[in-house]
Amino acid sequence: METPIKIAVIGTGTAGVLSLSRLISGCPPNYHFYSIHDPNTPILGIGESTTIAGPNALWLGTRFSLMTDSQELDATIKLGVRYTGWREHDFDSHIPPPYAAMHFNNFRIKEFSFERMRGLWGERFHEIIGRVDAIDNNENCAKLHMDSGDVLEFDYVMDCRGYPEDYSDYHQAIIPVNHCLVNTINKPGAWEYTWHVAHRNGWMFGIPLSTRQGWGYLYNDTITEREDAVDDIAERFKTSPSDLKLKEFKFKNYRAKTYFEGRLIKNGNRALFFEPLEALSGTFYNHVNEYFIGYLAGQESMEQVNENLHNIAEDIEWFIAYIYHGGSNYNSKFWDITKEKMSNFLSSNVRFQEHRGMMTSIGDYESAQNYPRAIFPTVNWRNFDRDLGYNYWTDPKRKRF
């Protein structure tokens, strides 16, 4: 019998679960996967929005379907993103048919997925309870030092343990928000898109679940005082600040300098965290899985994996800057600072300049598969350009960066 190749995935947040689901479905039968997690480690539990990669990964690894299993994850279909307050009129960022994404309750995804994977994959799926205290990343294997004192050895380890303890091996992104106030409303969300609502201090996402709504007020706490942000979100929900029961998250925006080294590959917030505009961090985590599968199949070198992931991360960063740099309907300190900072960033970003040049020469409906640097189909880029009033691609007289 062929010796199993053992791969550990540390962490059972969304990235960890989706990675297990995608990897176990994408690797040969001699690959065995081990979920290693500490049940005492909390997850954020806001309610999440995916790109099309999320339900696809779940389908491949667990046979999750929105048609038959939506109640298991409190899930709703996502057909795109609606932007409100960014320009005079609302506009939509569509997911092109026949695809769809979803919103789901991330408190539920681990138990559902693990039960399904046990049934589908049998002895190829393993679960180990415990905390990883240290990782030895050697040439031939990775060794995990557990809180129990055990040392576990694997051929490869995917690290999805969340935010890093030390940011010295990370690039800090230029993204302008760093604080989130989450307000949950206990009634179903009756819309089929993720809401992106601009406000004077940043923007707010709205996620519809089948039993509740999750709203996240994003702002920069070096520009806006917390008290002002709380007053603003209370006003928006027509309640008093004292009646709000807010969850609160302060975060950095960053990307790893190296994603894959030796026998260790980073994913989830261990690899990258950008604010949730268009759920593009999830897009990146999916790319990590796909390139890792390609590496294991001998189709990608480690150097190629790192280069490709570096380029995708940079493209997502400048896309976020592209959305921000034209401002919103609000004249405020946040938007004045952000517009100038994002415009300066784009003016010196080589990959954005290359993208701008290519967008002027390719057809409206050419797919992103034929344009590998695009994180959206070309038609979406042209719609953003029109709806945001930039007209960089379509008006030859428009001043360009």
- Please give the tally of structural domains in the chain: 3
Residues 162 and 18 occupy one common structural domain: yes
Q: Of 380, 375, 382, give the one whose Cα is nearest residue 96.
A: 380
The pLDDT tens digits of the residues spanning 5-60 come to 999 999 999 999 999 999 999 999 999 999 999 988 877 666 789 999 999 999 99
Tell me the residue type at 213: Q
Residues 164 and 71 occupy one common structural domain: yes
Residues 114 and 16 occupy one common structural domain: yes
Q: Is residue 319 part of a domain?
A: no
pLDDT at 401 exceeding the cut of 50:
no
What CATH number has the domain bearing residue 282? Answer: 3.50.50.60
What CATH number has the domain bearing residue 179? Answer: 3.30.9.100
d(CA 386, CA 238): 33
Residues 161 and 28 occupy one common structural domain: yes
Phi and psi torsions of 192, nearest 5°: -120, 40
Q: Is the dihedral of CA 333, 247, 64, 16 positive or negative?
A: positive
- In b/e form, how buried is each residue of 5-26, taking b as 16+ CB within 10 angstroms? ebbbbbbbbbbbbbbbbbbbbb
Which residue range(s) make up the domain with 281?
A: 5-82+95-171+255-312
Residues 269 and 353 occupy one common structural domain: no
pTM of the model: 0.93
d(CA 340, CA 319): 16
DSSP, collapsed to helix, strand or coil, labels residue 248 as strand
Q: Is residue 88 part of a domain?
A: no
Residues 160 and 55 occupy one common structural domain: yes
Phi and psi torsions of 38, nearest 5°: -105, 115
Residues 237 and 363 occupy one common structural domain: no
The pLDDT tens digits of the residues spanning 47-81 come to 789 999 999 999 999 999 999 999 999 999 999 99
Question: 3-state SS of 125-152?
Answer: EEEEECCEEEEEECCCCEEEEECCCCEE
Residues 260 and 230 occupy one common structural domain: no
Q: Is residue 332 part of a domain?
A: no
Residues 128 and 274 occupy one common structural domain: yes
* H-run or E-run covering 172: strand 170-172
**Which of 223, 250, 277 represents a domain boundary (last residue)?**
250
Residues 141 and 271 occupy one common structural domain: yes
Residues 103 and 139 occupy one common structural domain: yes
Question: 3-state SS of 350-384?
Answer: HHHHHHHHHHCCCCCCCCHHHCCCCCCCHHHHHHH
CA atoms within 13 A on the CB side of 180: 20
pLDDT at 325 exceeding the cut of 90:
yes
Least reliable range by pLDDT among 210-214, 228-232, 286-290, 376-380: 376-380
